[in-house]
Each structure stands twice: as C-alpha cells, then as structure tokens.
C-alpha cells in the first residue's frame, strides 16, 4: 500500500518507513506537491488530523500524518505542540536541532525536576469516512548534558526511563522498542496489515 506522509521532514519519513516496514511513504515534495499547512490545533491529535485532512484533500489517496512533541514537567508541559519550532519565534529564524536542545538545557538550569514525556499522535485516513488515530508516549527526563550520536531532534538530551539511557545512545532498532513513535507505529502497522489483508480478500472475492 502506498501512503502519502503529510510532512516535509525526511528524518521522520525515514524513521516511520522503517517502523511500518513494507509500506512506502511518499512525501508531497517527492511528487512536486506544494504542502504547507498551519498546525493550529490545541493538541497532538488535532494537529496530526489537520495535516492528514489537508493532504487527503489534495491527493485523495491514503494519507498518514504524525505530530510529536516533548512535554517537560518543569516548563508546564512546554514545548509541547511547539516542539519543532521551539525558540524560533524569539530568535526570528529557524534553529538547528542542536540549538533547540541546548536552549532547552539552558531553560532547565538549576531545575531538579527534569521529568519529561515524548508524545506521538498518528492519524491515518484511508477514505473520507475511514480513519484511525493512535497516540502513544515515552516517559523519561531531560539529561544535564547531551550524549550520543544517533537519532535526531532532542534525542541527545532525552533519557528514556525504561531503557535506562539517553535516546541518542541507542541504535535505531533498540530505540524503536521504547520510543513514542515506535510504540504508535507498531499499533498502526497492525491496522495497516489488517486493512491490506482485507483488501486482498476482497480482490479474491
């Protein structure tokens, strides 16, 4: 099954493609489709749905969208849905991943409560009246300093409680076991496999 991925983030596309295994994810830009939607929802599920619906209206084909973010207890749940753009409004420009996680560390200087949660919401739209939404999380805390060379985004400063180490210190396959996106994608793959199986049965009939 070909799935359009409502994103311009190739890092996310590669990770989600690996997690879904067997399903081709196509970015709008791969086919020259201009796609830029305002993510003005109040939570991750709303933003994932906004992106999926916007792309579905363009391609009229199966679409999947992801909205993810980091919620830090000491910061009142921020950056939350603004994780991807953290600090950019104040800076007046786009920031690199390193600039964003270093800003986070500065904002937590002296803070003893460093609990944090990564959240992923996935929205799959197969047709106008058929859609699935899955949300999963990964509990941890923000490290005192960055570590590791794997992953992307805030991985170098996110200590995964269940794994007992920094996310960026884990190989891809191991990170998938614990990560918010890994958990959500495994559930979504089960749904996609079932849909594919039902579709093949329908063709045989």
Q: What is the CA radius of gyration of the chain?
A: 18
- Tokens standing for 122? 């996935």
Interatomic CA distance for residues 53 and 55, integer angstroms? 6
67 is catalytic: yes
- Tokens standing for 43? 């939570």
Q: Max alpha carbon distance in the chain (Å)?
A: 65
**Whether the Cβ atoms of residue 119 and residue 136 lie closer than 8 Å to each other:** yes
Q: Which of 67, 97, 169, 176 is catalytic?
A: 67
Residues annotated as part of the active site:
67
């Amino acid at each position: 099954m070909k799935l359009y991925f409502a994103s311009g983030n190739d890092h996310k596309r590669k990770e989600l493609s690996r997690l879904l295994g067997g399903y081709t994810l196509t970015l709008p830009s791969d086919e020259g489709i201009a796609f830029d939607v305002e993510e003005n929802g109040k939570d991750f599920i709303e933003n994932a749905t906004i992106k999926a619906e916007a792309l579905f209206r363009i391609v009229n084909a199966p679409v999947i969208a992801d909205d993810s973010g980091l919620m830090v207890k000491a910061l009142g749940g921020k950056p939350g849905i603004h994780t991807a753009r953290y600090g950019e409004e104040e800076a007046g420009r786009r920031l690199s991943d390193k600039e964003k996680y270093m800003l986070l560390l500065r904002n937590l200087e002296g803070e003893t409560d460093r609990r944090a949660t990564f959240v992923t919401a996935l929205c799959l739209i197969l047709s106008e009246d058929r859609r699935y939404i899955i949300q999963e999380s990964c509990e941890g805390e923000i490290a005192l300093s960055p570590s590791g060379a794997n992953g992307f985004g805030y991985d170098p400063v996110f200590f995964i409680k269940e794994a007992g180490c920094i996310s960026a210190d884990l190989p891809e396959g191991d990170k998938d076991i614990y990560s918010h996106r890994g958990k959500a994608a495994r559930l979504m793959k089960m749904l996609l496999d079932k849909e594919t199986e039902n579709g093949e049965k329908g063709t045989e009939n």
